[in-house]
Amino acid sequence: MKKLSCRTETFTDSVIRRMTRVSLRYGAVNLSQGFPDFDPPKEILNVLSQSALPHQYSITWGAQNFRDALAAKQKRFTGLDIDPNSQIVVTCGSTEAMMAAMMTVCDPGDKVIVFSPFYENYGADAILAGAEPIYVPLNPQDFDFDPNVLEDAFRQGPKALILCNPSNPCGKVFTRRELEIIAALAEKYDAYVITDEVYEHIVYAPHEHVYFAALPGMFQRTISCSSLSKTYSITGWRLGYIIAPAEIIDVAKKVHDFLTVGAAAPLQEAAVVGLKMGDDYYKALQDTYTNKRNLFLKGLDDLRIPHTTPEGAYYVMLDISEYGYDDDLLFCEDLARVVGVGAVPGSSFFKEPVNHLIRLHFAKQESTLIEALNRLENIGKLKK
Ligand code: GLN
């Protein structure tokens, strides 16, 4: 038999999703792959169960009413006037949005800047698009970056920078000042910025989310990707989108058209009501996640497990140095099997050889988080 594609030899399956399977195998409380165990807003579920929903393809770029509602929501949160017909593509989750954005921008051999730690999809996205990542470290504990190191990366002539903000896995929310530094460099070296802003509405006070595309002069070079998964607790619906200037969207539409044809029509229809929800919904979402974060972090503190303090998103990284493992994947497998909690090894997010961190998420009901904390009382069993 002939060899399968070389392209696919250089990356593995997703470790995040693999850890969900490991959690299932051992009956562990799954805090690995980030998704809620609570229901979406009832307004959305009501439409899903009660309305006559479309069963055939929507328009390839997304149903008209979905794009109209999305443009209105963007105006509300970013102040930008987005043309729903020429500046939006609705995708199958932000996973497709990021892949399509990368393929829209990059030719084989092009470089893209990626901050490390990074969400693991970007590595595979870059390989599939033929692009070569230039990694710029976010330095623990604050996960800040050195502007000189970033400028050195820009000097290599990258086509784009990937910006995950709020950041998965480290919970960093980039400040306006930091974003302005990135913006100035993107302008100076004429690079695109591809954003992944799926946690835009999960930010902890006093931190605030600043939309990169809304910075002065940045709309024209920004390809904003996001999704409804986290904001409306519908990760399985796979509804995401790209927003960018029309010249870029023209190309992204072609890529999307041949990758997936379109996002699920009935789910777009049901989700429109979510896009139209008022400010009180987003305030309640923030409060809910702030309470979950506080409960979980306090529980970790009580157990004396060192951890990061997320400014946004719903992940926390635990320092496992004291348990004596060289291999954080093995640690996570043992954690699922012996302690009964699913986590993701930190090494799957870092370019650097980091193996003393694991990622847990807290997008779970309080009772689930308490059960996980109770189980974590046994984490000492893993000490070598
Ligand atoms: N973004 C979530 C995580 O990092 C889920 C990823 C996925 O499986 N699409 O865990």
CATH of the domain at 353: 3.90.1150.10
CATH number at 73 reads 3.40.640.10
Residues of the chain with pLDDT under 50: none
User: Which among 277, 310, 329 is the end of a domain?
Assistant: 277
User: Which among 211, 245, 277 is the end of a domain?
Assistant: 277
Protein residue with its CA nearest to atom 1 in ligand 1:
34
Protein residue with its CA nearest to atom 3 in ligand 1:
34
Q: Is the CB of 117 under 6 A from ligand 1?
A: no
Tell whether 106 and 36 lie within a shared domain. no
Tell whether 313 and 370 lie within a shared domain. yes
Q: Is the CB of 229 under 6 A from ligand 1?
A: no
* Cβ atoms 218, 197 nearer than 8 A: no
User: Which among 277, 293, 325 is the end of a domain?
Assistant: 277
Question: Structural domain of residue 146, as residue ranges?
Answer: 53-277
Residue 1 lies in a domain: no
Residue 47 lies in a domain: no
Tell whether 270 and 305 lie within a shared domain. no
For the segment 250-308, what is each residue's pLDDT rounded down to a tens digit? 999 999 999 999 999 999 999 999 999 999 999 999 999 999 999 999 999 999 999 99
Residue 337 lies in a domain: yes
Q: Is the CB of 222 under 6 A from ligand 1?
A: no
CA 114, CA 171: separation in Å to the nearest integer? 16
Distance 228 CA to ligand 1 centre (A): 13
Residue 45 lies in a domain: no
Tell whether 223 and 301 lie within a shared domain. no
CA 365, CA 249: separation in Å to the nearest integer? 38
Residue 91 lies in a domain: yes
Distance 17 CA to ligand 1 centre (A): 7
Closest CA to 213 of 257, 239, 237, 249: 249
CA 306, CA 206: separation in Å to the nearest integer? 22
Residue 139 lies in a domain: yes
Q: Is the CB of 17 under 6 A from ligand 1?
A: yes
Amino acid at 365: Q
Residue 243 makes CB contacts below 8 A (sequence gap 6+) with 70, 74, 82, 87, 88, 213, 223, 224, 226, 249
Whether pTM > 0.85 for this model: the answer is yes
Distance 190 CA to ligand 1 centre (A): 31
205: how many CB neighbours lie within 10 A of its CB? 8
Q: Is the CB of 155 under 6 A from ligand 1?
A: no
Question: Which one-letter DSSP state was computed for residue 217?
Answer: T
Tell whether 246 and 300 lie within a shared domain. no
Distance 247 CA to ligand 1 centre (A): 30
Q: Is the CB of 188 under 6 A from ligand 1?
A: no
Tell whether 273 and 323 lie within a shared domain. no
* Cβ atoms 292, 280 nearer than 8 A: no
Tell whether 249 and 305 lie within a shared domain. no
Structure tokens at 104: 């829209």
245: how many CB neighbours lie within 10 A of its CB? 17
Protein residue with its CA nearest to atom 9 in ligand 1:
95
Q: Is the CB of 168 under 6 A from ligand 1?
A: yes
**pLDDT given at position 50:** 84
Residue 341 lies in a domain: yes
Closest CA to 336 of 33, 25, 36: 25
**pLDDT given at position 257:** 97
Closest CA to 321 of 372, 355, 296, 359: 355
| Mutation probe of ligand 1 site: the residue of 13, 15, 16 with most atoms within 8 A of C-beta | 16
Tell whether 13 and 128 lie within a shared domain. no
| Total tally of structural domains belonging to the chain | 2
Tell whether 200 and 80 lie within a shared domain. yes
Protein residue with its CA nearest to atom 4 in ligand 1:
34
Tell whether 152 and 249 lie within a shared domain. yes
Residue 272 makes CB contacts below 8 A (sequence gap 6+) with 47, 63, 65, 66, 69
Do the bridges between strand 88-92 and strand 239-243 make them parallel or antiparallel, or are there none, so unpaired? antiparallel
Tell whether 270 and 289 lie within a shared domain. no
For the segment 198-219, what is each residue's pLDDT rounded down to a tens digit? 999 999 999 999 999 999 999 9
Tell whether 125 and 183 lie within a shared domain. yes
Residue 46 lies in a domain: no
108: how many CB neighbours lie within 10 A of its CB? 9
Which atom belonging to ligand 1 lies closest to the Cα atom of 119? 4
